[in-house]
Chains A and B, each alone.
Chain A
Amino acid sequence: MAGADQSKIRNFCIIAHIDHGKSTLADRIIEMTGLLTSREMQSQVLDNMELERERGITIKAQAVRIVYQAKNGEEYIFNLIDTPGHVDFNYEVSRSLAACDGAILVVDAAQGVEAQTLANVYLALDHDLDVMPVINKVDLPSAEPERVIEEIEDVIGIEAMDAPQISAKTGLNVEEVLEQIVEKIPAPEGDPEEPLKALIFDSLYDSYKGVIVFCRIKEGTVKKGTPILMMATGAKAEVVEVGYFGAGQFIPCDELSAGMVGYITASLKNVKDTRVGDTITDASNPCAEPLPGYKKVNPMVYCGMYPADGAKYPDLRDALEKLQLNDASLQFEPETSIALGFGYRCGFLGLLHLEIIQERLEREYNLDLVTTAPGVIYKVHKTNGDVIELTNPSNLPDPSEIEYMEEPMVKAEIMVTSEFIGAIMDLCQERRGIYDGMEYIEETRAVLRYHLPLNEIIYDFFDALKSRSRGYASFDYELDEYVKSDLVKLDILINKEEVDALSFIIHADTAYERGRKMCEKLKEEIPRQLFEIPIQAAIGSKIIARETVKAMRKDVLAKCYGGDITRKRKLLEKQKEGKKRMRQVGSVEIPQKAFMSVLKLDDK
């Protein structure tokens, strides 16, 4: 395929709100261009992590090359880049978009435009992509394609009159999508003779090949033996192999030239060297300037992760190291908790990222984890002028040393039908949101804009949003600046002893309510023991809430005769086993799940 005619290449992605059918359409396109027969296809080829398929989301960017025989008789090469679909991975999304020349916008014919749709479209437009709308799920009884077309034109402001009306599920009119890709998505540009300039939009670690770098060649040509330089990280290597993306496999080729999408391997051992957004150039003939837009992504959410079985501590380290090989944004460092023993303080891009890592550790590495409440990075300004970036509440300096504290804010856009505006405004109010405006995008729908503290949305904001709008609200946010805030450290005392793993930073106004809820929850979770156990929430030395777990009154078997002894032994063993799985804090045994239960303090 060397030196392929640029005019026959189309590099595009599909953008959509979650569940609008992005992956299904990708599957259908792959199937219809004959890359795989439907029998061979494991549904949703591109989401190839089990977790991705289960959650219906895309976590890592993927790409696939398809050959399409158009009605004009010409053969086209489509490079379809599947982007992560969640705000936690916004930066990755932006880099994937930067690797494309156009985007297919999938909109659900029944649901219409949603907050994430808008956010993604704007992101695509920011990257000068031509956006080509597609109306999906027209086979649903509730489909209103005409209304949705109008909405796309009104709300987004792009031409949608001749948008294909399809059912990705049944394959209806998908052919038309393929034709429109040829017509509407521009062919790539770039000069194969220029110095090499390639954009990294993802990378993954393979134990045989080392790091496999996913890239879009903007200028120049790369082949085996090219000495390459990552312009931001400074890493250097010699290319071992180049190739393109078959369905679920890597297919080597001679060279990749301007306009093409493919992969490079170069015996790199660590994805940290190949950061998403970095520019690859020819070390012997470097380009003058890197591609714009590179930034190093930093974790925004932190929590402690501890193995339920203390002996598994080294296993947890190994697992985190392995995951980090493929995920440069995952950070971790050892920490110790009095209650939970040895573990790691881990940093994530967001709560979804956290949940994914946690699930992968549990499933793929068979680890049983205890996770502490996630928190954001607070800036602590000390009286001596020092500023600490606080990721672990236990490290908060003594109040006398603190001048003031700052917390990160986000700019949030919430799209909601008019009947729920009041409910959502109440929610934002409760979460310390600052109203920033509202626009009606059509008669019955509005976009609400709020400034919200990040720590108010990392717990259960999304769930609360959905439940208060009966699922109709959608939500997107971007990080904003740090602001001064009246923050306190809330401690939990069990039997008068502080449990470090349960401490967290919270706004003074919500501390009381939160403390009360935590005590209530812990009361439910901590089994009765031989003595009465007070559970208290405290700010400094001031107790703000209290519950009591009453002493166990009775735990006795009335009968134990000859035939009962084996059973009695089993019962005692089970009881003892249960105790082993608890964490001893002072003289109190606390079940592992009590630590987790306080993460989900439902509104209702």
Chain B
Amino acid sequence: MVWPMRPLELYVHIPFCIRKCQYCDFLSGPSSKEERREYVTELCQKIRTYKKLAGSYHVVSIFIGGGTPSILEAEQITVIFEAIRDTFVVDEGAEITVEMNPGTVTEEKLTAYRQAGINRLSIGLQSTKDEELRILGRIHTYEEFLDTYRLAREKGFGNINVDLMSAIPGQTVEEWVDTLQKAAELRPEHISAYSLIIEEGTPFYETYVRGREGDESFGKAAKEREEADLCAGRLPDEEDERQMYRQTKEILKEYGYHRYEISNYALPGYECRHNLGYWNRTEYLGIGTGAASLMDNKRWDYGEEPMVLSMKEQMEEYMFLGLRKTQGVSKTKFADEFGRGMDTVYGEVLEKMYGMRLMEETDDFVRLTDRGIDVSNTVMCEFLLE
């Protein structure tokens, strides 16, 4: 074995779900039992092909994402983990997460997860309002979520994330606050609270973006949705949307959660290590349709040619990914990694950003201010080099 082994994160993609949500642009869709069986078989074979590469790494975290991975049978999860453990050296204390949606989870599956070493669950709730869940095209009610959540606790899962979504069509600030409070009262260790993004190619896009651009055919699509009672009025305006965002931080703070990334909140010590790896540029290997990888300063999408990142691109990534963290980016680490001071490369931009109160400096770290987070794309653009 080569020494020293480098830390590696594994991501496994399961592109299946019961039904596509109205806002979802992930690579995912309904499938047959047969398709799932074949996919899992191929996935396991693929995992095993990494045997040689695996020799240089020790796995620090695993994330089974989707889609809805909990749609797989208990035994399918078991074989995937057998393949992983046969191939890779997985750390004793590795963080191992699986994503799930209420309505697909059984006691049997949870038992299998425990046996496979899964120690963290990420449950998609989005809202505690059944009407909002319906608008989003979710397959479950709030009550069904509660059943799943309780079952998971009963089975001994001590690290649970709950996904929430703000700025849902028709949602008021009060309704969002209520969802937040109900979720926080359940005391999950982690909450991801995303402001809805209307992505191109989703039904929401057709309804709320193109439908409003006066394009006849899309106007028609929007009308049909209205008739089917799937249109809950307008999207919250920018002002309300930002108020929801600000309130999220305040309210969750009252419950003991702190924001450590633009959309992520955790009780102390429960920050998602796997996701932090993306923002810290830890190496990761993505397996399965639609998964992406970063290894040896090469990025690639599953099945595609790796693209080598230049020093310039690495520095840019360091900044625009790292600045998502509320802690910000370390100047010392930057200098260690690139052999140049952050001020040498970005001094001018940083000064400008401090001047506009979009960023601030604390000891070794530079980070976005709350205002900077609101307009973070505009700020991050500045860190792309000529």
Q: B375 to chain A: which residues have CB within 8 Å?
A: 530, 552-556
Instruction: For B373, give its contact among A556, A560, A565, A572 (CB under 8 Å).
Output: A556
Produce 1/0 per residue, B189-223, CB < 8 A to A. Answer: 00000111100000000000000000000000000
Instruction: For A561, give its contact among B278, B356, B377 (CB under 8 Å).
Output: B278
Whether A561 contacts B381 by the Cβ 8 Å rule is: no
**Assuming A565-B317, A568-B320, what are 9 further A-B pairs, CB within 8 angstroms?**
A530-B358, A530-B378, A556-B374, A556-B377, A560-B278, A562-B284, A562-B293, A565-B299, A566-B301
Q: A560 to chain B: which residues have CB within 8 Å?
A: 262, 278-279, 321, 324
Cβ-based interface call for B132 (8 A): no
Cβ-based interface call for A569 (8 A): yes
Smallest Cβ-Cβ distance to A579: which chain B residue: B381
Whether B381 contacts A576 by the Cβ 8 Å rule is: yes
- B279-335 at interface with A (beta carbon < 8 Å): 279, 284, 286, 290-294, 299, 301, 313, 316-317, 320-321, 324
Known contacts A552-B375, A563-B291, A575-B377; decide if A558 and B317 are in contact (CB<8 Å).
Answer: no
Q: Could you give 19 example pairs across A and B, Cβ below 8 Å?
A: A553-B374, A554-B238, A554-B374, A555-B377, A556-B373, A556-B374, A557-B377, A558-B194, A558-B195, A558-B262, A559-B194, A560-B262, A561-B275, A562-B11, A562-B284, A563-B290, A566-B292, A575-B378, A575-B381
Separation of A530 and B378 alpha carbons in the complex (Å): 8
Smallest Cβ-Cβ distance to B299: which chain A residue: A566
Top 8 closest A-B pairs, CB basis? A563-B292, A558-B194, A555-B377, A553-B238, A555-B375, A576-B381, A556-B376, A558-B195
Whether A571 contacts B377 by the Cβ 8 Å rule is: yes
Smallest Cβ-Cβ distance to A556: which chain B residue: B376
Separation of A562 and B316 alpha carbons in the complex (Å): 16
Smallest Cβ-Cβ distance to A568: which chain B residue: B320
Whether B381 contacts A562 by the Cβ 8 Å rule is: no
Separation of A554 and B356 alpha carbons in the complex (Å): 15
Cβ-based interface call for A401 (8 A): no
Separation of A566 and B316 alpha carbons in the complex (Å): 12
Whether A569 contacts B317 by the Cβ 8 Å rule is: yes
Instruction: For A559, give its contact among B197, B290, B293 (CB under 8 Å).
Output: B197
Separation of A232 and B384 alpha carbons in the complex (Å): 61
Min C-beta distance of A93 to chain B, whole Å:
43
Smallest Cβ-Cβ distance to B384: which chain A residue: A576
Cβ-based interface call for A176 (8 A): no
Q: A557 to chain B: which residues have CB within 8 Å?
A: 197, 262, 376-377
Report which residue of B196, B286, B377 has the largest number of chain A beta carbons within 10 angstroms of its beta carbon. Answer: B377
For this complex, into which size category does the number of interface residues on chain A fall?
20 to 34
Produce 1/0 per residue, A574-586, CB < 8 A to B. Answer: 0110010000000
Smallest Cβ-Cβ distance to A571: which chain B residue: B377
Q: B376 to chain A: which residues have CB within 8 Å?
A: 555-557
Whether B242 contacts A554 by the Cβ 8 Å rule is: yes
Separation of A576 and B385 alpha carbons in the complex (Å): 10
Min C-beta distance of A569 to chain B, whole Å:
7
Whether A572 contacts B377 by the Cβ 8 Å rule is: yes
Total A-B residue pairs with C-beta atoms closer than 8 Å?
89
Smallest Cβ-Cβ distance to B320: which chain A residue: A572
Known contacts A561-B275, A562-B286, A562-B294; decide if A555 and B299 are in contact (CB<8 Å).
Answer: no
Cβ-based interface call for A154 (8 A): no
For this complex, into which size category does the number of interface residues on chain B fall?
35 or more
Cβ-based interface call for A403 (8 A): no
Q: B263 to chain A: which residues have CB within 8 Å?
A: 558-559
Smallest Cβ-Cβ distance to A552: which chain B residue: B375
Cβ-based interface call for B174 (8 A): no
Whether B381 contacts A572 by the Cβ 8 Å rule is: yes
- B327-386 at interface with A (beta carbon < 8 Å): 356, 358, 373-378, 380-381, 384
Separation of A305 and B320 alpha carbons in the complex (Å): 38
Whether A563 contacts B286 by the Cβ 8 Å rule is: yes
Smallest Cβ-Cβ distance to B284: which chain A residue: A562
Smallest Cβ-Cβ distance to B11: which chain A residue: A562
Q: B384 to chain A: which residues have CB within 8 Å?
A: 572-573, 576
Smallest Cβ-Cβ distance to A580: which chain B residue: B386
Cβ-based interface call for B239 (8 A): yes
Min C-beta distance of B120 to chain A, whole Å:
15
Produce 1/0 per residue, B131-146, CB < 8 A to A. Answer: 0000000000000000
Q: B380 to chain A: which residues have CB within 8 Å?
A: 572
Separation of A584 and B380 alpha carbons in the complex (Å): 19
Q: A569 to chain B: which residues have CB within 8 Å?
A: 313, 316-317, 320
Q: A576 to chain B: which residues have CB within 8 Å?
A: 381, 384
Instruction: For B378, give its contact among A552, A562, A563 (CB under 8 Å).
Output: A552
Q: A554 to chain B: which residues have CB within 8 Å?
A: 238, 241-242, 374-375
Q: B196 to chain A: which residues have CB within 8 Å?
A: 558
Q: B290 to chain A: which residues have CB within 8 Å?
A: 563
Instruction: For B278, give its contact among A565, A566, A572, A579 (CB under 8 Å).
Output: A565
Q: A553 to chain B: which residues have CB within 8 Å?
A: 238-239, 242, 374-375
Separation of A554 and B378 alpha carbons in the complex (Å): 9
Separation of A560 and B275 alpha carbons in the complex (Å): 9
Min C-beta distance of B11 to chain A, whole Å:
6
- B142-179 at interface with A (beta carbon < 8 Å): none
Q: B294 to chain A: which residues have CB within 8 Å?
A: 562, 565
Q: A552 to chain B: which residues have CB within 8 Å?
A: 375, 378
Whether B239 contacts A562 by the Cβ 8 Å rule is: no
Whether B378 contacts A555 by the Cβ 8 Å rule is: yes
Smallest Cβ-Cβ distance to A553: which chain B residue: B238
Q: A565 to chain B: which residues have CB within 8 Å?
A: 278, 292, 294, 299, 317, 321
Separation of A566 and B286 alpha carbons in the complex (Å): 14
Separation of A554 and B196 alpha carbons in the complex (Å): 13
Separation of A559 and B263 alpha carbons in the complex (Å): 7
Q: B320 to chain A: which residues have CB within 8 Å?
A: 568-569, 572
Separation of A575 and B382 alpha carbons in the complex (Å): 10
Whether B194 contacts A562 by the Cβ 8 Å rule is: no
Separation of A560 and B278 alpha carbons in the complex (Å): 8
Known contacts A552-B378, A556-B374, A565-B321; decide if A530 and B239 are in contact (CB<8 Å).
Answer: no
Smallest Cβ-Cβ distance to B281: which chain A residue: A565
Q: B197 to chain A: which residues have CB within 8 Å?
A: 557-559
Separation of A557 and B25 alpha carbons in the complex (Å): 14
Smallest Cβ-Cβ distance to A529: which chain B residue: B378
Produce 1/0 per residue, A534-562, CB < 8 A to B. Answer: 00000000000000000011111111111
Q: B11 to chain A: which residues have CB within 8 Å?
A: 562-563
Separation of A554 and B291 alpha carbons in the complex (Å): 29
Separation of A558 and B278 alpha carbons in the complex (Å): 15
Smallest Cβ-Cβ distance to A578: which chain B residue: B381
Whether A562 contacts B301 by the Cβ 8 Å rule is: no
Report which residue of A554, A557, A565, A569 has the largest number of chain B beta carbons within 10 angstroms of its beta carbon. Answer: A554
- B236-284 at interface with A (beta carbon < 8 Å): 238-239, 241-242, 262-263, 275, 278-279, 284
